[in-house]
Amino acid sequence: MSADQKSYQLLAEQLTDRGIDVEAVKAALKAQRVETPSWGYGNSGTRFKVFPWPGAARNLREKLADAAHVHRLTGICPTVAIHIPWDKVDDWDEIIAYADSLGVKIGAVNPNVFQDDVYKLGSICNPDPKVRKQAVEHMLECIEIAKAVGSKILSLWFADGTNYAGQDSFRARKDRMEEALAEVYAAMPPDMRMLIEYKFFEPAFYHTDLPDWGTAYMMALKLGPQAQVLVDTGHHPQGTNVEHIVALLLDEGRLGGFHFNARKYADDDLIVGTINPFELFLIFNELIAAEQDPDPTVSECARNVAYMIDQSHNIESKIEAMILSVINVQTAYAKALLVDRKALAEAQMAGDVLGAHEILAQAYETDVRPLLAQVRIEMGLEPDPIAAHRASGYEEKIARERGMGEGSSGGYPGA
- The per-residue b/e assignment along 146-156, b for 16 or more CB within 10 angstroms, e otherwise, is bbebebbbbbb
Peptide bond into 85 cis (omega under 30): yes
Q: How many CB atoms lie within 10 A of CB 212?
A: 17
Q: What is the DSSP letter of 42?
A: B
Residue in 124, 104, 105 with CA at minimum distance from that of residue 114: 124
Q: Domains plus CATH for the chain?
A: 32-322 (3.20.20.150)
How much is the pLDDT for 45? Answer: 66
What pTM does this model have? 0.95
**pLDDT per 10-residue tile (average), the chain, 415 residues:** 85 95 98 97 78 93 98 98 97 98 98 96 98 98 98 98 98 98 98 97 94 98 98 94 98 98 84 96 98 97 98 90 98 98 97 98 98 98 98 97 68 45
Give the DSSP per-residue string, 179-211.
HHHHHHHHHS-TT-EEEEE--SSSS-SSEESS-
Query: What integer pLDDT is reported at residue 406 of this predicted model?
Result: 66
